[in-house]
């Protein structure tokens, strides 16, 4: 059980690190939002499910309820985080922001 928790947690943190590096390293607005939308959601799903497993360590009704609440958080973030990214990118397109092309600084 512990091994699964640790593996999930570390892979989630790996996704978060990738997302942060992507936000810092990518050249323009649209490509920066790409890691922000995808990798954060994936990392959050993995870390949160590892925490849900960890609370199920001592199996009881209360810990089952806590795990259920954590899974609910995952579900809602899974819906809302890509929507927020979509809204930001949509606003960028409407404001007329150009995209990066190869060779530009």
86, 97, 98, 99: which one binds another protein (CB under 8 A)? 86
Alpha-carbon Rg for the chain, nearest whole angstrom, is 18
Q: Say whether residue 68 binds another protein (CB under 8 A).
A: no
Question: What part of residues 3-42 is at the interface with another protein (CB under 8 A)?
Answer: none
76, 96, 102, 105: which one binds another protein (CB under 8 A)? 76
Q: How many whole angstroms separate alpha carbon 47 and alpha carbon 77?
A: 13
CA dihedral sign, ordered 66, 71, 74, 80? negative
4, 6, 7, 87: which one binds another protein (CB under 8 A)? 87
Q: Please say whether the beta carbons of 11 and 19 come within 8 A.
A: no
List residues binding another protein (CB under 8 A).
76, 79-80, 83, 86-87, 90, 94
């Amino acid at each position: 059980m512990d091994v699964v928790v640790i593996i999930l947690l570390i892979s989630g943190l790996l996704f978060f690190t990738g997302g942060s590096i992507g936000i810092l390293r990518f050249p323009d607005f649209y490509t920066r939002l790409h890691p922000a939308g995808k990798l954060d959601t994936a990392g959050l799903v993995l870390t949160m499910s590892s925490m849900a497993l960890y609370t199920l360590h001592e199996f009881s009704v209360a810990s089952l309820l806590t795990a259920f609440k954590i899974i609910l958080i995952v579900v809602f973030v899974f819906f809302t985080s890509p929507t927020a990214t979509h809204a930001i990118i949509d606003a960028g397109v409407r404001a007329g922001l150009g995209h990066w092309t190869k060779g530009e600084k």
